[in-house]
Amino acid sequence: MIDCGEGTQTQMRKYNISFSKINHIFITHLHGDHIFGLIGLISTMVLLGRKNDLHIFSASEIQKYLNPQIQFLYAEVIPFRIVFHPLNFRKEQTIYEDKKVTVFSFPLSHRIPTCGFRFEEKPKLPNLIPEKIEEYQIPIRDRQRIKEGGDFVTEDGRIIPHTELIINKHPARSFAFCSDTRFDESYIASVRNVDLLYHEATFAEDNQKLATETYHSTGKDAATIAKNAGVGKLIIGHFSSRYKDHTIILKEAQCVFPNTEAISEGDVIQIERVISR
């Protein structure tokens, strides 16, 4: 989960997202609209009898906000451990890694220390093409080696390059999340070539000055980051409530980066591998 605003629990119930599946929460920064849902979420996890550790990646000050609330509500210890992982707000850092994914944090430019996050899927081994196994009678003992990049030598000594024998069904994908931030070229390197970029676009160009003053972005800013970073697709959100209709923000973004979509509540976005690396 990235950030945890006030309505998080309600929305999770509405869209049937399991509480027990949330094991890692990445908090960009400590403004209320990004953390007010945390204590409610933790309380629900206590009620549900959670046992697994809950990992929170955030500015370390979050403990000053959360711990007193937890102590006030639960005099005894809660049945699971909350593990806090402090973020580095000066440079990019690897903050999490498992068999499937690596997560990086990188500094953004907001009124208080803020990080964006990049999720990189690890490449999976390709599959062997069944017809090729048949055609060249590839023995089982050779198959793993070919998946890992080796060529196949037939009994009569012909070398069949592995590229002819495999199909990559699961290309590794990447996703980056940038909120809240004002336009700043310093984090372009951290989102370069991601398949999907979520970037805040609080304002339209009519409020460019206000965007800079409040350390937020316009749709055009978000699109300029997407364009300069060469990302596959851009999703924008975090629209100011002053815009009854955010079409204007979307249109301004699409002028700079056509493959832009505006996010709405409940949207499910499939991350597709579009960038070849």
Q: Under the rule (CB under 5 A), what is the footprint of Zn ion?
A: 31, 33, 180
| 184 belongs to the catalytic site | no
Task: Output the CA–CA distances (angstroms, integers) from residue 250 to 78, 221, 272, in the order listed.
Answer: 44, 11, 21
Cβ of residue 110: shortest distance to Zn ion, in angstroms?
A: 6
Cβ of residue 169: shortest distance to Zn ion, in angstroms?
A: 38
Q: What angle do CA 164, 167, 170 make, to 5 degrees?
A: 155
Q: In this complex, which beta carbon is closest to Zn ion, that of residue 180 or of residue 221?
A: 180
Residue 4 CB neighbours (<10 A): 22
Cβ of residue 246: shortest distance to Zn ion, in angstroms?
A: 15
Task: Output the CA–CA distances (angstroms, integers) from residue 19 to 13, 30, 34, 215, 228, in the order listed.
Answer: 9, 22, 18, 33, 37
Q: Is cis: bond before 180, omega within 30 of 0? A: yes
Q: In this complex, which beta carbon is closest to Zn ion, that of residue 52 or of residue 186?
A: 186
Q: In this complex, which beta carbon is closest to Zn ion, that of residue 180 or of residue 195?
A: 180
Please list the helix, strand and coil fractions of the chain in percent, rounded to the nearest 5, in that order. 35, 20, 45
Of the candidates 179, 172, 168, which has an alpha carbon nearest to the alpha carbon of residue 193? 172
Q: In this complex, which beta carbon is closest to Zn ion, that of residue 34 or of residue 173?
A: 34
Task: Work out whether strand 115-121 and strand 101-107 pair parallel, antiparallel, or are unpaired.
Answer: antiparallel
Cβ of residue 270: shortest distance to Zn ion, in angstroms?
A: 25
Number of H helices and E strands in the chain, helices first, is: 10, 14
Q: Which residues are catalytic?
A: 33
